[in-house]
Chains A and B, each alone.
Chain A
Amino acid sequence: MAFAFDVTGDGVRVWRRAPGGDATVRTDREFRPSLYAAGPDAALATLDERLARDPKVEATGVASRFTSLRDDAPRDVLRVDTAPGAVRQVAREIRCIHEPDRWAPGTVRLYNVDLDPTARYCLATGTSPVPDADLRSLSLSLPTAALADGDLTALTCEGAPLATDLERTDAAERRVLRALADRLAAADPDVLVLSSADLVPLLSDRADDMGVDCSLGREPGYRKLAGANTYQSYGRVGHSPARYAVPGRAIVDRSNSFLWDEGGLPGLLDLVERSWLPLQVLSRASIGTVFTGIQIREAFERDVLVPWRAWEPEAFKDARTLHDADRGGFTFEPAVGVHEDVVEVDFASLYPRIMCEYNLSPETVRCDCHDTDDVPGLGYSVCDDPGFVPSVLQPILDDRADLKARLADAGPDSAETARLEARSGALKWILVTCFGYQGYRNSKFGRIECHEAINAHAREILLDAKDALETGGWRVLHGIVDSLWVTPRVEDPTPIEALCERISADAGIPLEREDDFAWVSFVPRQDGRGGSLTSYVGKVADRDEFKIRGLAARRRSTCGFVAAAQRDLLRTFDARRDPGAVCDRLARHVARLEAGRVDPADLVVRTRISKSLDGYDRRSRTVAALERYRDHGIERHPGQDVRYVVVDDTVRSRERVRLAFEAGDDYDATFYRERLARAAGEVLSPLGWDRDRVRGYLRDTRDTTLGAFE
């Protein structure tokens, strides 16, 4: 089966390998990508004539397709077969040259323009990009600093160094390249899992320079598919590194693969099967791109075209309806403080299940064929015809439920368990994202009213659940969109299972008992204004485990030392249930910190940067770190992390920090003490202990306490 694709000027090269066999390549020179144009007959006829004179267009024809999910019947559209790689150019010329000449903008609508070229090939030709089960992979890693230096001696293969030389010399690097060539020849992998795609040009160019015969691909050479760039998505800045391809092998760039982190190879392959995005494309795709890919595959099956631009606007609606609709999910105000005997119940995959249960899809919500009142509070109609989005989501929901069931049966720590977890993890992300995607401005198949309808159902479901739980003798301590935390309100409440069953039946969506907690602590906001909606910690009953959300120990920027100390304070609180005991413990961590006995590796702070160095005008720690990276010749881009230890927070120069990979063992104890105090505050503030009280306690007890511990 095929596993790697390469679209070049003279065709699509498809790499296949049968189980146990050698890889073979075939070049499809016949394939012509097609875009579609819809519009008035006269416009299409003229466009057809004009395109006939365009050398990039090889053929045109009439096709019958649905141009929107909302169409009742297919219509005649103009199919334009272009030269390989020319689709976008032809589309741009139609939009900017042919259309303006004769017609108003939007007279001609274009479809199937911005598809990934390899996925387009698979979908159009029915070539499955799903590799066989014995897919072979090989991983290569080079630490960031060595990569920037171009130092090959640190290269590892499957986690083991390729050379034993400590000194960096030409001879040592040559040995590394030869060893790598041997490994590639022996393993003959189909997939290269790289710590960074920049390894491709580095290794190839160095091998050329040194005259070593070492190709990463199954044939010599590599291609640069795209340069590095910075993008913005959901309000967050991201960095997309340069992309490379080598012949005959799919490349997975671990530095640029969210999905690799979440699902590993089994997770990636599961999604290849669903989306028909080839492995190499999928590995670097965002969840939104994968979800779109799955929808595009479904669209191809239904003869629905994929719009190039999001033209379809919402319909005019009464401003009062807009007022009612324009609301998010429901979040309770948390009961700040520590509560004993708490149960968390969750609606599993609430949003995708709402879409499936209530048939919510861009084309079913406010359909033209019904005048019913189907969405609570909004009065929107919902069509009975099976919806597009539900038909995409239902199999994912079913498969994930199946994976979870099999996980429950599989023994712990088995290879099978890891594989199932990886697949389940990847699917979870699709389910988490599919809802937001309905409201995403550039989504190919999204619609704001569908987004609103989902929220409307979600609010009612959560409030109905609250009613049922209260009637059953429980008190709701907190609730966020799809989860509720409850504690008994009366002596002998209705068992939670019975209530879950009743609520599930009423909502049509399973409410599950997620966890029983010995205690849960809802943390107040830092400014003291009410509870933080998303910061809490619970001690799981009968298990040595905390569930932590929004606290320092969970935040990615927190250094290891502070995270570990906060967990330790939580354990202390759990054992003693006494703020004083927590303070004593805190004093011990402070003492260790101030004595200089903390390993600097545990003090590394990680920050995701939003601008490049020149974009900052404040002298922050991030800037100091970026300057040091630059001194090493390493350029960090927006969306990437910087990692450093704070050395002297009183200065504003680059001496303020030390990068994680730089040598040294000093640190600024005052800075980390402040961080520690804040983390301790998250544990102590729900108990009503503010910083003054902690300080006062420590002043009074410190000497004796430390004596007891040291």
Chain B
Amino acid sequence: METPPLEPGLTFVAQPDGRGGVAALARHADATETLWVDTRGAASTYALTADADRSVLRGLRVARAFTAHQHHALVRRAVDAATARTDLVVAPNLAALYEAADGPDTELDRLYAATCSLLAALGESTGVPVLAGAPDATDAHRETLREAAAREVTCRPTDFGYAVDAPGFTQSGYWGGGWWQTTIPYWVAVCGAVGTSAPATADPVAVAVE
């Protein structure tokens, strides 16, 4: 999978056709140390190691939130947990827990907005790329994240992997209907012929992230 170079600051990953885009981008980011703020099991280690390589998990530090308040506290804690080696922060399903009823709407909306600003501030002050997605979220919550983000990337699943659309990013894949399409020969070129093992950074099985 070809991905745009990750830029410092908060990037909103739009996923109009489903989840998994944030995980796919993170997998291919080739980061030294990733902090992953997890909700709803997005950090399933089997999805992250779709190529069955445990070493992919190296350098990945995960913490799971199960309530909106925990999620907010985790994002806060990520600021402290980030080390000099940290070069990627990931927060998939950002809004999920704020849409479950743990408290009054106004309180949770405020908490959610604060979480978005915190992530933006984290990216800005440290210069570390921060990837956040809000699939299945309400339009309002997605808009809040979009406003907080410095840029937006769109990630769509295709039969052959994720198609990424980012400003200023030229893909070497094929375009069709405005979206990136790939072909079998393309994947053979990237991964080698069928039967040889695919390198971790170019695995068409990224679809399995779903």
Give the distance in Å from the alpha carbon of A306 to the alpha carbon of B76 in the complex.
Answer: 22
User: Is residue A273 within 8 Å, beta carbon to beta carbon, of the partner chain?
Assistant: no
Q: State A313–B60 Cα separation when bound (angstroms).
A: 18
CB pair A322 B43 closer than 8 Å: yes
Bound complex: CA A92 to CA B107 (Å): 9
CB B4 to nearest CB in A, in angstroms, measures: 24
Interface residue B73 (Cβ < 8 Å from any Cβ of A): yes
Contact B73 A320 (CB under 8 A): no
User: Does A708 interact with chain B (Cβ within 8 Å)?
Assistant: no
**Which residues of the other chain, A, contact B77 by a CB distance below 8 angstroms?**
313, 315-316
Considering the complex, which residues of chain B in the window 66-108 have a beta carbon less than 8 Å from any beta carbon of chain A?
A: 66-67, 69-74, 76-78, 81, 102-104, 106-107
B45 within 8 A of A: yes
Q: Across the interface, which residues of B come within 8 angstroms of A105, CB to CB?
A: 72, 107, 110-111, 114
Q: C-beta contact mask, A290-331 vs B, less than 8 Å → 1, else 0?
A: 000000000000000000011111111111101100100000
With known contacts A319-B60, A323-B57, A313–B71 Cβ distance under 8 A: yes
Chain A residues with Cβ below 8 Å from B111 are: 105-106
Interface residues of A in 440-468 (CB under 8 A from B): 441-442, 448
- Chain B nearest CB: distance from A111 CB in Å? 13
Q: In whole angstroms, how far apart are the Cα atoms of A323 and B61 in the complex?
A: 11
Complex Cα distance, B107 from A100, in Å, reads 9
- Which of A104, A316, A317 gathers the greatest number of chain B CB atoms within 10 Å? A316
| Beta-carbon contact of B104 and A309 below 8 Å | no
Q: How far is the CB of A103 from chain B (nearest CB, A)?
A: 10
A residues within 8 A CB of B65? 313
Hey, which chain A residues are within 8 Å of B110, CB to CB? Answer: 96, 100, 105
How many chain B residues touch A (Cβ–Cβ < 8 Å)? 34
Most buried by A among B66, B74, B76: B66
| Min distance, Cβ A67 to any Cβ of chain B, angstroms | 13
| Chain B residues engaging chain A, CB cutoff 8 angstroms | 35-36, 43, 45, 48, 54, 57-58, 60-67, 69-74, 76-78, 81, 102-104, 106-107, 110-111, 114
B57 to chain A, nearest CB (A): 4
Residues in A neighbouring B103, C-beta threshold 8 A: 95, 309
Residues of A with C-beta under 8 A to B78: 316
A111 to B45: give the CA distance in the assembly, Å: 36
Complex Cα spacing A416 to B194, Å: 74
Query: Which of B73, B77, B114 is the most central at the interface, judged by chain A CB atoms within 10 Å of its CB?
Result: B73
Contacts A318-B61, A448-B64; A313 near B107 (Cβ below 8 A): no
Instruction: Return the contact of A319 from the options B48, B72, B102 (Cβ within 8 A).
Output: B48
Q: When the two chains form their complex, are residues A96 and B73 in contact, meaning their CB atoms are under 8 A apart?
A: no
The smallest beta-carbon distance between B56 and chain A, in angstroms, is 9
Q: CA A394 – CA B176 in complex, angstroms?
A: 66
Given contacts A310-B67, A311-B73, A313-B70, contact A320 B107 (CB under 8 A): no
Chain B, Cβ-Cβ closest to A448: B64
Nearest A residue (CB) for B108: A105
Q: Are B45 and A311 in contact (CB under 8 A)?
A: no
In the complex the two chains form, is B57's CB within 8 Å of A326's CB? Answer: no
CB distance from B132 to the nearest CB of A (A): 17
Q: How far is the CB of A545 from chain B (nearest CB, A)?
A: 43
Considering the complex, give the chain A residue whose CB is closest to the CB of B102.
A309
Q: List 25 A-B contacts (CB under 8 A).
A: A92-B107, A96-B107, A105-B72, A105-B107, A105-B111, A106-B69, A309-B102, A310-B70, A310-B102, A314-B63, A316-B61, A316-B62, A317-B63, A318-B57, A318-B60, A318-B61, A319-B43, A319-B45, A319-B57, A319-B62, A320-B57, A323-B54, A442-B102, A448-B64, A448-B66
Please state if A322 and B71 are interface contacts (CB–CB under 8 Å).
no
Question: Cβ of B81: which chain A residues have Cβ within 8 Å of it?
Answer: 316
Q: Are A309 and B67 in contact (CB under 8 A)?
A: yes
Report the bound CA distance from A322 to B107 in whole Å: 31
Nearest CB in chain A: distance from B9 CB, A: 20
Q: How far is the CB of B17 from chain A (nearest CB, A)?
A: 26
How far does the Cβ of B78 sit from chain A's closest Cβ, in whole Å? Answer: 8
B188 to chain A, nearest CB (A): 30
The 8 A-B residue pairs with the shortest CB-CB distance, nearest first, are A441-B66, A319-B60, A319-B57, A313-B70, A323-B45, A309-B69, A316-B61, A313-B74
**What residues on A are CB-neighbors of B74 within 8 Å?**
313
In Å, the complex CA distance between A316 and B76 comes to: 12
CB distance from B97 to the nearest CB of A (A): 9
Docked-complex contact A441 and B57, CB < 8 angstroms: no
Chain A, residue nearest B78 (CB): A316
Decide: A312 near B104, CB < 8 A? Known: A441-B66, A442-B67, A448-B66: no
B residues in contact with A314, CB < 8 Å: 63-64
- Known pairs A310-B70, A322-B62. 11 more at Cβ < 8 A? A92-B104, A95-B107, A106-B69, A309-B69, A310-B102, A311-B69, A313-B74, A316-B35, A318-B57, A318-B61, A323-B45
On whether the beta carbons of B114 and A104 are closer than 8 Å, the reply is yes
| A309-B102 Cα distance, complex, nearest whole Å | 8
What mask results when residues 418 to 460 of chain A are scored 1 for a CB within 8 Å of chain B, else 0?
A: 0000000000000000000000011000001000000000000
Q: With A and B bound together, what is the CA distance between A318 and B45 in angstroms?
A: 11
Cα–Cα, bound, A643→B155 (Å): 51
B67 touching A441, Cβ below 8 Å:
yes
With CB as the reference atom, state the residue of chain A lying closest to B56: A319
Q: From residue A101, how far is it (CB to closest CB) to chain B in Å?
A: 11
Chain A proximity of B155: nearest CB distance (Å): 21
Known A106-B73, A320-B57; contact A315-B45, beta-carbon cutoff 8 A: no
> What per-residue 1/0 map shows which CB atoms of A317-352 lie under 8 Å from chain B?
111101100100000000000000000000000000
How far apart sit A309 and B65, CA to CA, in the bound complex (Å)?
13
Interchain nearest-CB distance for B98 vs A (Å):
11
Point out the residue from B58, B61, B106 that lies within 8 Å of A317, measured CB to CB: B61
| A453→B51 CA distance, assembly (Å) | 28
Q: How near does chain A come to B193, taking the closest CB pair, in angstroms? A: 31
**Bound complex: CA of A303 vs CA of B54, how far in Å?**
45
Instruction: Kindly list chain A residues whose C-beta atoms are within 8 Å of the C-beta of B62.
Output: 316-319, 322
**Which A residues are CB-close (under 8 A) to B72?**
105-106, 311
A322 to B74, CA, bound (A): 16
Bound Cα distance A95, B45 (Å): 36
Chain B residue, CB-CB nearest to A97: B106
Shortest distance from the beta carbon of A309 to any chain B beta carbon, whole Å: 4
Question: Chain A contacts of B61 at CB under 8 A?
Answer: 316-319
- Residues of A close to B67: CB separation below 8 A: 309-310, 441-442
Min distance, Cβ A127 to any Cβ of chain B, angstroms: 31
Q: Are B66 and A316 neighbours in the complex by a CB distance under 8 Å? A: no
Distance in Å from the Cβ of B31 to the closest Cβ of chain A?
Answer: 12
Q: What is the CA–CA distance of A307 and B77 in the complex, to the nearest angstrom?
A: 19
A326 CA to B110 CA, complexed, in Å: 32
Closest CB in chain A relative to B81 CB, distance in Å = 5
Least CB distance from A315 to B in Å reads 6
Contacts of A92 in B (CB 8 A): 104, 107
Q: Are B57 and A316 in contact (CB under 8 A)?
A: no
B201 to chain A, nearest CB (A): 17
Measured between beta carbons, the chain B residues less than 8 angstroms from A106 are: 69, 72-73, 76, 111, 114
The CA-CA distance from A441 to B68 in the complex, in Å, is 10
CB-based contact B45/A313 at 8 Å: no
Q: What chain A residues lie within 8 Å of B107 (beta carbons)?
A: 92, 95-96, 105
Cα of A92 to Cα of B66 in the assembled complex, Å: 22
Report the separation of the CA atoms of residues A106 and B68 in the bound assembly, to the nearest whole angstrom. 11
| Residue from the list B43, B69, B114 in contact with A310, Cβ < 8 A | B69
Interface pair B114/A312, CB less than 8 Å apart: no
* Nearest-Cβ distance from residue A604 to partner chain B, whole angstroms: 36
Q: Is there contact, CB below 8 Å, between A316 and B63?
A: yes
Instruction: Give chain B residues whose Cβ lies under 8 Å from the Cβ of A310.
Output: 66-67, 69-70, 102
B-chain residues with CB within 8 Å of residue A320 when the two chains form the complex: 45, 54, 57-58
Inter-chain contact A326/B102, CB cutoff 8 Å: no
